[in-house]
Amino acid sequence: MTKDKPITQLNTDRFSRNISYLRVSVTDRCNLRCFYCVPEEGLPFLGHKDVLSYEEITAIVQAGVRHGIQKVRITGGEPLVRKGIEELVASISALPEIKDLAMTTNGVRLASMAHDLKKAGLHRVNVSLDSMKPEVFEKITGRNHCQEVKEGIEAALDAGLTPVKINVVAVAGVNDSEFADFAKLTMDKPVSVRFIEYMPIGKNMHWAEDRSISSREIREIIEKQLGPMTPVTEHGPLDGPARRFSLPGAQGEIGFINAISGHFCSTCNRLRLTADGKVRPCLFSDKEIDVRSVLRSGGGPSDLDAVFAQAIAQKPRGLDSAKSEKPGCDRSMSSIGG
C-alpha cells in the first residue's frame, strides 16, 4: 500500500492534489423543486441567522486564498434568489488572487440579472437545464419556467458571461430523447453542453438505478443521430472534470461528467462551503468543519486558516474512503451546494 505523502504546501493534500477550488453555497432556498434534489415531503429551510452573511463569506474566501484557492463558484440552492448577490460577487472579484469566479444557477432570474452580474465581476455561468420541452421541464422541476431559463442563457451570452455551460442531468426515461437536441445547440451557439450522470446524492428519495444512464450510452445516442464527435485535446485553467468533445463545425463543445461510471476523485481539487458555514472536504462524506462558529466566537485570520488546513488534511483519497469515514450524506443537495 502506498503511504500518504506529507503535505508540503498549504494547498496540497495528503495525496499530492493541489486544492485550488472552493464552491460557496449562499442559500439553501430555491425557486424550483427538481425531483432529484427535493424530497416529496419538502425541506426545512435555514433561519436567517443560520446563514452566513456576505461579509462572513468574504472573510472565509480570503482565508481560502491564503491556502491556494484561486477559483470560486457561487452556488445555492439557487444563488439568484438571495437579495443583493451582486454585492458578494463584487467582494470576491476584488480579491486579486481569484482567477476564476463563476456561478451555477437554474437561470430562472438570470435574464434580468446577467448584465449586473457581469458588471459586478462575475466571469461566467453554468445554467442548469434538463429539458427544453416545457412539459418535461415542469415534470422535472415542478415549475413552468422553461422559457425564462432559455432567455437567461441568451442574456448570459449577450452579457459576456462566457463560456456559458449548460448542465443537463441525464435521466433515463425522462429526458433521454433530447440528448441530440442539446448537442445541436453547440452547432449554432458558443456554449458547452455538459451531460451529468444522474447520481444518488443526499436525501434523494427518487433515485433509482434504472434511471441512471452512463456517459458512454449518452455519447452513443448522440453519435447515432449526429455522427462521430472529436475529442477536445486543448486544455486550460478552466478545465473541470468533464471529458470534452465537439461536433464537426460546431461553435461549442459537448462534455460528459462521469459522476457514477468514472469518478474523478484522483484529480479532485475542491472544497465546499455550505450556506450555514460548514467546510466539507468531500461531497460524498458528511464530514464537516464548522467555520461559522469560529467566526462568530471572534476568531481571526489565523483561526480561519486552521479550518482550511484541517479541511485539506481531511480530504479523503476517493469515494470509497469517503463513505467509510462517515457515510452519507444526510443533507439534501440544496443544503450542501450544487
Quote the pLDDT of residue 323.
Answer: 55
Contact partners, residue 334, CB within 8 Å, separation at least 6: 28, 29, 30, 37, 38, 43, 76, 77
Which residue's entry shows cell 434534489? Answer: 37
The pLDDT confidence band at residue 328, using thresholds 50, 70 and 90, is very low
Averaged pLDDT, 203-224: 80
pLDDT value of position 205: 46
Return the higher-pLDDT residue of 307 and 285.
307
Pick the more confident residue, 52 or 45: 52
Give the pLDDT score at 259.
Answer: 64
Peptide bond into 77 cis (omega under 30): yes
pTM for the predicted model, two decimal places: 0.91
Q: Assign 5 a pLDDT band (cuts: 50, 70, 90).
A: very low
* 129 CB-contact burial (10 Å; exposed 0-12 / middle 13-18 / buried 19+): buried
The DSSP 8-state label assigned to residue 72 in this structure reads E
| Nearest alpha-carbon partner for 72 in 94, 51, 39 | 94
pLDDT category, 61, cuts 50, 70, 90? very high
Average pLDDT over residues 58-85: 97
pLDDT digits (tens, 9 = 90+) for 258-278: 865 556 788 899 999 999 999
CA-closest candidate to residue 124, choices 99, 150, 91, 149: 99
- Mean pLDDT is lowest, of 7-16, 111-120, 141-150, for 7-16
d(CA 121, CA 155): 16
Phi (first) and psi of residue 236, to 5 degrees: -150, 180
Q: Of 11-15, 25-29, 291-295, 322-326, which gets the smallest average pLDDT?
A: 322-326
Range 314-318 average pLDDT? 89
Omega cis (within 30) before 163: yes
* Average pLDDT over every residue of 173-182: 97
pLDDT of residue 198: 83
pLDDT band at residue 4 using 50, 70 and 90 as cut-offs:
very low
| Residue from 168, 263, 261, 165 nearest 217 by CA | 261
The pLDDT value recorded for residue 240 is 74
Calculate the average pLDDT of the chain.
Answer: 89
3-class secondary structure, 290: strand
Using one digit for the tens of pLDDT, what is the confidence trace for 238-259? 567 889 999 999 999 999 998 6
C-alpha span between 25 and 57 (Å, rounded):
9
